[in-house]
Chain A
């Protein structure tokens, strides 16, 4: 790790007694029943669990895509769960990058346009968008594909484009939801290498949601979720 957390610095993500309840009355469903968790800067954390265990809900709460029913989510010590929507949108836009199992690339647009989407949302000027987009594509060896349509790429290339899109806004945390779930094992491994390389070289915090034990094993730490509770946390 090139950047270890400064002593005494607040964790980049902190969750305290998170609960999330969907519906009420008969159809009430407690997805999370009180989860506390700290993620330190520069580390990689795997959230594992069976489907329906609440691991995705936990990631959504940590990534500020959803608000907890009770409990606190802090970003660098700042309470984010109760912040106004506009602030939360900015936090997500500036601090987080997302890699999903599916690529979610817009087929008709060029690779460059897909990669610069976070910058478009942020309101960066077109010229600056292109410059930063090309730089990040270059670093991932995709510079020659910048003007291609996203549809014309192979699966592995697409996932690299998705990672480029997650990186373009220079985030502190990348959330990866089953990042290799859609890839064959060889390309899956290449994508894993890429993600962990970024974590090591750039000090980016990595939060990976997966049910793949091999992937979880490569992370610094893993927490296992079952029935909305952390049942096991182990430092490697």
Chain B
């Protein structure tokens, strides 16, 4: 039998008992539908998270924070005049403890660290158009690590520390408020930022809008470059207070100025740990979050796998019935010289056809319904998280789901197909 004939005959045989095939396809449909949705959910959330985390840092940089305190001695901790300060403001990137000047010096001394940039916290009171009045002022938060990270941009460019001019990346919600037509037309415009210095004197500084960013989950607030933070933080520093930073960014360089390898990062991390500091790459942060997400998606997927398992027994049952019904036909074909292998392929391919139908229809339905749900959610409950498409239907994932289910169907078809292949034509054609 020709291979093309095997395929056409297997397909036709699958439709011989329409009701039975439809029911089996339906059970696979449920599995395929759920599995496509859960993988899409995983892909959507992971994609969002990786874009969000990328807003926190770039390149070969380690975010350094004080190591989480593991002081287990009883009673109050003894005062250390050179010790670290505690933060009064919670910060998503750091622990409660702040870095001090000693820590920066230690970091600078570590092999493999090219330079250390402390992240300063500055407080901006308001933002207004360059020629704006008091009515045009809006409150503005500054993202402390913005000068080091990439923003999820709608228009314009990332901050460039090299230029020296004061730059700002605004969130998209400010475009309308500040009277810009759209995100593109805001680029290159100047805005005025108001702040209060340590002596409670209101001051202001001008900055050029270089980019408009989506509101981000982790890096909330506008991004400003180092030159602007330097000016503001100097003005806001309370005289006499020791320097303290939420975190610092250590830029690494490879040995001899080459590329930074995994090994370099590992060594720097080890040295930081010795100094009671914790260094994390973006990948580390990404990894932690994605591990949690993948865990949740894994549990959800497990449910669809259970549905698939049940469906696979349905396939076994359907095909066993099919083999039973076609005993005579199989016997006849074998009497006419059809090999066991061809009989096996005929029936296992029938299972694959059923698997393909169930998975393809299920995946298509999931994409259709999922896209509706996704856009409804994006317009409603998830409107505060722009850029998040909760269900991301990656063609590769969808194809993988279909292939996996076809494989499951094939495996389910092995038992009935073997039974068909091993049939003795004489027994099959016996009549009395």
Contacts and interface: CB of A to CB of B under 8 A. Distances in A.
Given A65-B426, A123-B2, A106 B337 contact: no
Interface string B129-163: 00000000000000000000000000000000000
Interface string A32-66: 00000000000000000001000000001001011
A101 B336 CA distance: 16
Given A89-B338, A121-B338, A123-B1, A102 B431 contact: yes
B198 interface: no
Nearest to B328: A104
A4 to B, nearest CB: 29
Contact of A65 (B1, B335, B338, B431): B335
Nearest to A92: B337
B426 A121 contact: no
A85 B340 CA distance: 10
A202 interface: no
A98 B426 contact: no
A118 B429 CA distance: 16
B425 interface: yes
Contacts of A86: 339
B219 to A, nearest CB: 64
A92 B335 contact: yes
Given A65-B426, A104-B329, A106-B329, A121 B431 contact: no
Interface in A89-103: 89-94, 98, 100-102
B332 interface: yes
Contacts of B335: 63, 65, 92, 98
A120 B337 CA distance: 10
Nearest to A182: B431
Nearest to A57: B426
Given A108-B16, A117-B332, A89 B429 contact: no
Given A98-B335, A104-B329, A120 B5 contact: yes
Given A101-B431, A120-B5, A92 B426 contact: no
Interface string B276-315: 0000000000000000000000000000000000000000
A189 B319 CA distance: 41
Contacts of B273: none
B431 A60 contact: no
A104 B332 CA distance: 7
Contacts of B338: 89, 93, 121
Interface string B414-432: 0000000000011001011
A63 B335 CA distance: 9
Nearest to A63: B335
B337 A93 contact: yes
B333 interface: yes
A121 B336 contact: yes
Interface string B329-351: 10111011111101000000000
A122 interface: yes
Interface string B44-57: 00000000000000
A120 B1 CA distance: 6
A100 to B, nearest CB: 6
Contacts of A108: 16
A122 B426 contact: no
A93 B336 contact: yes
Nearest to B4: A126
Contact of B339 (A85, A91, A118, A126): A85
Interface of A: 51, 60, 63, 65-66, 85-86, 89-94, 98, 100-102, 104, 106, 108, 117-118, 120-123, 125-126
11 contacts: A51-B432, A63-B335, A65-B425, A92-B336, A98-B332, A98-B336, A101-B431, A102-B431, A104-B328, A106-B329, A120-B9
- A-B pairs, 7 with minimum CB distance: A93-B337, A89-B337, A92-B337, A121-B338, A123-B2, A121-B336, A118-B336
